[in-house]
Amino acid sequence: MRLGGYAALVAFLVIGFATARYGKAAGNTVAGQGDGPMWIFILLLLTAYGAAILRLTSRRSLGTTGTLAIGVWGGVGTGLALYALMPFGGEATIPGTDERIYLSIADSNVALLYVAAVGSMGFYGMLIGGWASGSKYALLGGLRAVAQLVSYEVAFTLAIIGVVIQSGTLSLQGIVNAQQDYPYIVPQILGFVIFYIAALAECNRPPFDLAEADGEIVAGFHTEYGGMRFAMFANAEFINAITLSALAAVLFLAGPEGPWLPGPIWMLLKIGFFLFIFIWLRATVPRVRFDQLMSVGWKLLLPLATLNLLVTAFFVVYG
C-alpha cells in the first residue's frame, strides 16, 4: 500500500511539473504569469503536498474494505490492467546473454475486446466512490461522471472499430504489424481526432473535466476524500491518460515501429507526444459547460464516428 503512495507522489511530481512548465510557456495559466521562477514554487508545493499525503495516510484511509476499496482502487486497477496486452516491441535479447524475451506481457486475437471491456469498467470507481462517501454532492458528481463516460464511450469505440476494419484484426500486435507501409493516422485522421477528443473526456482531462471541476458541485465524486484516497483518484487520472496515449500510439502511429531506435524507445516517445498534447490542451482550451459537453458527444462525435466507420468500410470493400 505504501508503494502506491510513492507512485502517486511520483505521478504528481512528473505531470505537475510538466504542466507547470508548459503553462508558463503558454502564458495562459497562473503558472505563466510573470517572469519569476513560478515553476520552482509549484514543484516544491507538489513535493510538500505529496509528502503530506503519505504522512496523513493511515491504514484505515487506504480504502481496504468494501465499497471504499472499489471506489478508490477501481480506476487505478482498470488503467493498469490494459497494459497486459500493450505491445512495446517484438523480441529482445538480454545484454550479455542469449536469453530472449518478449516486450509485451501477452497477445490475444481479441485484445481490443479486452481493452473495451476493462476500460468501460473504470466508471464504477467514480460512481461507487461518490456513493460510498455518503455525500449527496459526491453522488451527483459520480452520476455526472458516469453520464460523461457513457456519452463518449460510444464515439470512442466507433473510432477504434474504423482501425479494426482497416487492419482486419482485433490483436494489438496485429494492428501494429498492419501499419508497416504507413501509420493509420493518415487514412484514419478523422477517426484519430474523434478518438483523441473522446479520450480527453474518458480520463476527465480539461476541457472535459466537468466530473471533478472545482466550480462544479464542489469537486465532484471525490469531494469527501483526503489522504491516500484522494491520491489514488488523482493517480487514476494520470494512469488513464498514459494508458490512452499508449493505445493511441498503437492504433494510429504503429506503436513500437520506427527506424534506428529500439521499439520501446519509439513507444515511449509516441506516448510522450500524446501526453504533451494532453497538457497543451489543458493550458490553452477553456472548460466547457456540461450541456456543451453532452452535445459534443452525442450530436457531433457520434455522427462523425459513424460516418468515418461507413467510409472506411466502403473503401475496404470496394477500394
Give tens-digit pLDDT for 77-120: 777 888 888 888 777 777 777 777 777 777 888 888 888 888 77
pLDDT at 317 over 80: yes
Question: Scanning the structure block, which residue is given the C-alpha cell 459520480?
Answer: 142
Cα 218 from Cα 130, distance rounded (Å): 12
Q: What angle do CA 29, 35, 36 make, to 5 degrees?
A: 100
Lowest-pLDDT range of 119-133, 236-250, 253-267: 119-133
pLDDT band at 13 (very low <50, low <70, confident <90, very high): low
User: Which cell goes with 201?
Assistant: 473526456
User: Which cell goes with 222?
Assistant: 471525490
Cα 77 from Cα 39, distance rounded (Å): 31
| Percent of the chain's residues with pLDDT above 70 | 73
pLDDT at 4 over 90: no
Give the ranges where 82-122 is alpha helix by DSSP (H).
111-119
**Which 3 state secondary structure label does DSSP give 107?**
coil
Per residue, what are the HEC states of 192-218? Answer: HHHHHHHHHHHCCCCCCCCCCCCCCCC
pLDDT at residue 27, as a whole number: 43
Burial class (CB in 10 A: 0-12, 13-18, 19+), 58: exposed
Residues ≥6 apart with Cβ < 8 Å to 1: 59, 62, 64, 228
Angle between helices 38-56 and 2-26 (to 10 degrees): 160
Q: Please name the amino acid found at residue 207.
A: P
- Up-side HSE of residue 146: CA atoms within 13 Å toward CB? 17
User: Which cell goes with 97?
Assistant: 546473454
Burial class (CB in 10 A: 0-12, 13-18, 19+), 147: middle
Cα 94 from Cα 307, distance rounded (Å): 47
pLDDT digits (tens, 9 = 90+) for 124-177: 777 887 787 777 777 887 888 888 888 888 899 999 999 999 988 888 888 988
pLDDT at 296 over 70: yes
pLDDT at residue 209, as a whole number: 76
